[in-house]
Amino acid sequence: MLNNIGLPGILLIAVVVLVLFGRGKISSLMGEVGKGITSFKKGINEGTAELEQEAADEAKDVTPEAEAVTEKDKV
């Protein structure tokens, strides 16, 4: 059904939506959608950074305990 719409159908739907909701309502709705997308991307980046920080914290000390003790004795 949706693969038969074509360009004239899409334009007709856009005109009907514009008439029903008005330009101001659609503009504010698109602004909210943009803010939501920005917030989502920010959350994804923060989550990724947090996971990378945890992995870096776990990987900082890879020296076995036996070698760590001998290093301290030498100093």
Average predicted confidence (pLDDT) for the chain: 82
DSSP state letters, the chain: -GGG-HHHHHHHHHHHHHHHHHHHHHHHHHHHHHHHHHHHHHHHHHHHHHHHHHHHHHHS--S-HHHHHHHHHH-
Are 26 and 17 in contact, with CB atoms under 8 Å apart? yes
pLDDT in tens, 23-40: 888 888 889 999 999 999
pTM: 0.51
For residue 70, name the pLDDT band (cuts at 50, 70, 90): low
